[in-house]
Amino acid sequence: MNLNPKFVSLLSAFLFFVTMSQAQEKKETTTFDLKRQLEYCALQASKTLEVIPDNGSSPRSIPTGSKEWKFVDYKDWTSGFWPGELWYLYEATGDKKWEKEADKFSRFLTPLSVSKAADHDLGFQVFNSFGNGYRLTKNAAYKEIILKTADTLATLFNPKVGTILSWPHNKYGGHNTIIDNMMNLELLFWASKNGGSKKLYEIALKHAETTMNNHFRPDYTSYHVLVYDYETGKKIKGITAQGYSDGSMWARGQAWAIYGFTMVYRETKDRKFLDFAHKLARVYLDQLTTEDLIPYWDFNAPGIPNEPRDASAAAIVSSALIELSSYTKEAILKKEYLSKAKKMIVSLSDQYQSHDFNSAFLLHSTGHKPAGSEIDCSINYADYYYLEALLRLQKLKK
């Protein structure tokens, strides 16, 4: 057989590339010790437990260069992440010590189920704490708290717009919905399937549809905040609060979107949400320019490469991609999601862990850069989704 030399050299280059990338992937997965990372998280959390004041508060963040946690009470939007981490550690180890602590810190959040809704964050707060708790223990008291909170969250739904009002305290000249709100729909879906009103399902579904139709630019990058007319439901404008500019891709916003729409597909089995989650993941992965796959806090931040990273966005996306890969039939795409999710987790484990700097799991997250707050620091939601991603990876291996 006479083969064209050009074809032969192209074929060899291709085979070389395939072999090298397979070898690289094998190296990443074989040298990565998942058990050791979980032990590391347990060790760090044990250190944190020793410094939490006995006043119902929980650890939120550690400023750059400091070793001291900033503590918050149950009303803070991040109050569910610490108890959520404790529940994940209980899941990872089966050690009753973690169950006891998780129960204690979850119960501090009980008033949220009987108070007026302050904002959309009730899902982050109550589902990450009591939701994980109920999943692991089937404690009926937790279920009651989750169901009551879902009804509370539903009071923020505006049927004229078709979304939940995310921030009642921020006016913006209309009904505002932030992309983060997608995450809190999981509480409503769960409640509707576990003894709550079927209306909660309809609200969550409508919120997801309205968001899908309005909250994204033509290239599938997300606005942070969408402002709608209260009465007509018409879209007024898309703006930012925590991103660089109204037109930029704020890394954690896109991360919430990828995770949120993947979860909505899981809950509804409606393919339009799966197709949409693929598009959101595509633009994030295509625009990710960092070697270690940990994004800058905003993909369009003007000072790149001298801008802070956001490890929390990477933790959220890695966890989401593991789930999205499980719904992906196309082999090449499935492989890409999994290998990139693993690479993000390996990067976080090798280069972003706190160790002796402080007792959080991770360094280098960015909370609210435009407000000058929580820049390049440790934050509890980065730790929560990092641990979740480790557990999802572990389930995958089993």
Give the binding site for ligand GLY (CB under 6 A). Answer: 180, 242, 252, 367
Please say if 119 is a catalytic residue: no
Please say if 121 is a catalytic residue: yes
Nearer to ligand GLY, 274 or 311 (CB): 311
From the list 76, 95, 151, 180, the catalytic residue is 180
Helix (H) or strand (E) holding 39: helix 34-49
The CB-of-242 to ligand GLY minimum distance in angstroms stands at 6
Q: How far is CA 244 from CA 20, 198, 210, 310, 366, in A?
A: 38, 39, 24, 13, 12
Cβ–Cβ under 8 Å, residues 266 and 277 = no
The CB-of-385 to ligand GLY minimum distance in angstroms stands at 11
- Taking alpha carbons only, the member of 311, 279, 315, 281 closest to residue 295 is 311
The CB-of-265 to ligand GLY minimum distance in angstroms stands at 21
Per DSSP, the residues of 189-210 read: HHHHHTTS-THHHHHHHHHHHH
The CB-of-180 to ligand GLY minimum distance in angstroms stands at 4
User: In the numeric block, which tokens belong to residue 237?
Assistant: 């404008």
From the list 121, 298, 376, 383, the catalytic residue is 121
User: In the numeric block, which tokens belong to residue 210?
Assistant: 């309205």
Q: CB within 8 A of 100, min separation 6: which ones?
A: none
Nearer to ligand GLY, 201 or 361 (CB): 361
User: In the numeric block, which tokens belong to residue 55?
Assistant: 């006043």
Nearer to ligand GLY, 85 or 180 (CB): 180
User: In the numeric block, which tokens belong to residue 104?
Assistant: 């204690």
Nearer to ligand GLY, 37 or 61 (CB): 61
Nearer to ligand GLY, 80 or 83 (CB): 80
For β-strands 175-178 and 163-164, DSSP reports them as unpaired
The CB-of-92 to ligand GLY minimum distance in angstroms stands at 25
Tell me which residues are annotated as active site: 121, 180
